[in-house]
């Protein structure tokens, strides 16, 4: 795709789509209850200085590339610092503690990022944003009077800590219930907070690859106020798509049936990447994902990953379930073997939306193991039949 074509794709999306990504698949579709006795939560008190030191030393993880689309503006940051200086208690934080004793911040990322910025002298108190402490205008942390700096550092923060003994899927459910931020976390954002660098870097690499951009018709790009092109995570939906591809690529349907839910399955697979996957396995996922995206773009064009029945004039938004169904079906074939059958494959994939069982498998309760098996098998059978 040329730069001109790319610009047209980005600018013309709204004329073609009702939305960017479907919302239905946030609902798992099945859930196996867990034992409430498995929950282990303790409430701990830390000083601001303690938390800052833990962040700097890597003992508390703020997930540095998290919520980049929702970063607080300077006014919010200054008001938070002023609240601490005034002695106003902050709402409780929620931390996940892993087996090593390290913390991941699940609820409170923005507040702790602001505190870290201030104590690292990256934030200046501006008069226009201070409501009461006008005398501190222009001050940074290191220019505050020693007594004020000491009082700030000794301020107590309350954190509810989900302990390591609590199963990961139980933790996920807890965090999805208690998240209190102004921008409630989506499922992938919670998984991101609970993950390690290895899986974060893999999903970032896949979701920001050229082949993914082209296969998704540049849906995860937008325009900044200065009219420059910027990548947007869409609440990390792009990384969820990449994760779902990798998870179903690497896991049998029999093993998937043992999961507590779709979200629990994706969280467990994220944990597997962080703990078990070798560099060779990661490289293979990158290779096959890239091939799947290139094949999808070449064979399905603007219809890739969207519900688009033959009689419909308008294609739907990107659908998570359709994404895994189509991408996995095309992943293992060289493009040169698919290209002679481009029209047949594209038409056959669209015809599947007229079949009740398949259409139902990508529209409601998409986490149900039977529906997962149905949609993954249907597209693979289509490709195998055409290529035979």
Co-location of 214 and 108 in the same domain: no
- For the residues 39-65, what does the mean pLDDT come to? 90
One domain, residues 341 and 371: yes
pLDDT higher than 70, residue 8 = no
Q: Which of 120, 145, 165 is the last residue of a domain?
A: 165
Answer yes or no: do 351 and 219 share one domain.
Answer: yes
The CA-based angle 45-49-52, given to 5 degrees, is 100
* Cα maximum dimension of the chain: 79
Is the same domain home to 226 and 117? no
Structural domain includes residue 57 = yes
Calculate what percentage of the chain has a pLDDT beyond 70.
87
pLDDT tier at 62, thresholds 50, 70, 90: confident
pLDDT at position 18 over 50: no
**Alpha carbons 341 and 336: distance in angstroms, whole number:** 10
Q: How far is CA 190 from the centre of its chain?
A: 8
Confidence of residue 67 (pLDDT cuts 50, 70, 90): very low
Determine the Cα–Cα distance for residues 252 and 228; give it in Å rounded to an integer.
Answer: 43
Q: pLDDT at position 3, please?
A: 57
pLDDT of the residue at 229: 75
Residues 6+ apart with CB under 8 A from 315: 16, 17, 302, 303, 306, 307, 308
pLDDT recorded at residue 84:
97
Task: Provide the b/e sequence for 25-41 (b: ≥16 CB within 10 Å).
Answer: bbbbbbbeebeeeebee
Residue 220 contacts by C-beta under 8 Å, 6 or more apart in sequence? Answer: 20, 207, 212, 213, 231, 232, 233, 234, 238
Q: Which domain holds residue 342?
A: 3-27+197-387
Q: Are residues 88 and 138 in the same domain?
A: yes
| Domain annotation covers residue 175 | no
Check: CB of residue 55 under 8 Å from CB of residue 117.
no
Share of the chain above pLDDT 90, in %: 68
Instruction: Indicate yes or no: pTM above 0.85.
Output: no
List pLDDT tens digits, range 327-370.
999 999 999 999 999 999 999 999 999 999 999 999 989 999 99
Give me the pLDDT at residue 159, please. Answer: 96
Inside any domain, residue 84 = yes
Q: Are residues 159 and 209 in the same domain?
A: no
Rounded CA separation 168/166 (Å): 6
Per-residue burial over 239-249, b = 16 or more CB atoms within 10 Å of its CB, e = otherwise: bbbbbbbbbbb
Task: Answer yes or no: is 34 within a domain.
Answer: no
Least confident of 21-35, 103-117, 302-316: 21-35
Say if 277 falls within a structural domain: yes
Average pLDDT over every residue of 217-231 = 79
- The predicted model gives 154-169 an average pLDDT of 92
**pLDDT at residue 9 is higher than 80:** no
**Is the pLDDT at 19 greater than 90, yes or no?**
no
> Contacts for 65-73 with beta carbons within 8 Å, 24 or more apart?
65/200, 65/204, 66/109, 66/189, 66/192, 66/193, 67/109, 67/110, 67/183, 67/189, 68/233, 69/232, 69/233, 69/235, 70/110, 70/183, 71/110, 71/113, 72/110, 72/113, 72/114
Residue 53 CB neighbours (<10 A) = 15
Are residues 206 and 353 located together in one domain of the fold?
yes
- What is the tally of structural domains in the chain? 2
232-268 per-position pLDDT tens digit = 776 789 999 999 999 999 999 999 999 988 998 999 9
Examine the domain organization and report whether 49 and 21 are in the same domain.
Answer: no
Asked if 116 and 239 sit in the same domain, the reply is no
Interatomic CA distance for residues 123 and 117, integer angstroms: 6
Within 13 A of 306's CA, how many CA atoms are on the CB side?
A: 26
Nearest alpha-carbon partner for 253 in 383, 377, 358: 377
Highest mean pLDDT among 97-111, 183-197, 238-252: 238-252
**Token pair listed for 143:** 């220019």
Asked if the structure places residue 74 within a domain, the reply is: yes
Measured between alpha carbons, how far is 229 from 13 in angstroms, rounded to an integer?
14
On whether residue 181 sits in a domain, the answer given is: no
**Mean pLDDT value across residues 164-173:** 84
In the predicted model, is pLDDT for residue 300 greater than 70? Answer: yes
Give yes or no: residues 262 and 374 share one domain. Answer: yes
If you average pLDDT over every residue of the chain, what do you get?
88
Quote the pLDDT of residue 69: 46
**Pair 23, 44 in one domain:** no
Which of the pair, 70 or 308, is modelled with greater confidence?
A: 308
Planar angle of CA 142, 146, 152, nearest 5 degrees: 80
Do 253 and 356 share a structural domain? Answer: yes
Residue 52 included in any domain = yes
Q: Last residue of some domain: 144, 165, 186?
A: 165
């Amino acid at each position: 795709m040329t730069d001109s074509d790319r610009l047209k794709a980005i600018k013309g999306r709204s004329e073609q789509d009702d939305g960017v990504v479907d919302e239905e698949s946030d609902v798992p579709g099945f859930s196996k209850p867990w034992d409430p006795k498995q929950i282990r939560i303790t409430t701990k008190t830390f000083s601001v200085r303690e938390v800052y030191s833990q962040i700097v030393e890597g003992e508390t993880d703020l997930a540095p590339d998290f919520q980049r689309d929702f970063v607080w503006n300077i006014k919010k940051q200054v008001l938070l610092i002023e609240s601490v200086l005034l002695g106003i208690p902050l709402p409780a934080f929620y931390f996940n503690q892993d087996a090593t004793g390290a913390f991941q911040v699940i609820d409170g990322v923005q507040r702790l990022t602001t505190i870290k910025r201030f104590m690292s002298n990256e934030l200046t108190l501006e008069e226009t944003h201070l409501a009461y402490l006008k005398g501190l205008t222009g001050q940074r942390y290191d220019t505050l009077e020693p007594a004020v700096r000491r009082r700030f550092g000794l301020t107590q923060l309350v954190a509810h800590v989900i302990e390591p003994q609590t199963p990961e899927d139980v933790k996920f459910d807890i965090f999805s219930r208690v998240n209190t931020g102004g921008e409630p976390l989506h499922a992938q954002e919670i998984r991101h907070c609970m993950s390690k660098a290895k899986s974060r870097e893999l999903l970032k690499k896949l979701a920001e690859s050229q082949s993914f951009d082209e296969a998704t018709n540049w849906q995860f790009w937008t325009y900044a106020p200065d009219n420059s092109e910027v990548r947007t995570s869409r609440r990390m939906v792009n990384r969820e798509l990449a994760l779902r591809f990798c998870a179903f690529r690497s896991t049998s349907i029999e093993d998937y049936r043992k999961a507590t839910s779709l979200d629990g399955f994706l969280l467990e697979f994220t944990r597997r990447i962080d703990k078990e996957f070798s560099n060779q396995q990661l490289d293979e996922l990158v290779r096959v994902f890239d091939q799947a995206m290139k094949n999808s773009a070449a064979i399905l064009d603007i219809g890739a990953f969207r519900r688009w029945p033959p009689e419909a004039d308008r294609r739907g938004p990107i659908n998570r379930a359709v994404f895994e169904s189509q991408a996995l079906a095309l992943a293992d074939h060289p493009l040169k073997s698919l290209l002679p059958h481009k029209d047949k494959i594209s038409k056959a994939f669209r015809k599947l939306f007229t079949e009740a069982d398949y259409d139902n498998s990508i529209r409601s309760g998409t986490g149900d193991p039977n529906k997962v098996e149905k949609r993954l098998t249907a597209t693979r059978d289509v490709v195998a039949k055409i290529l035979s």
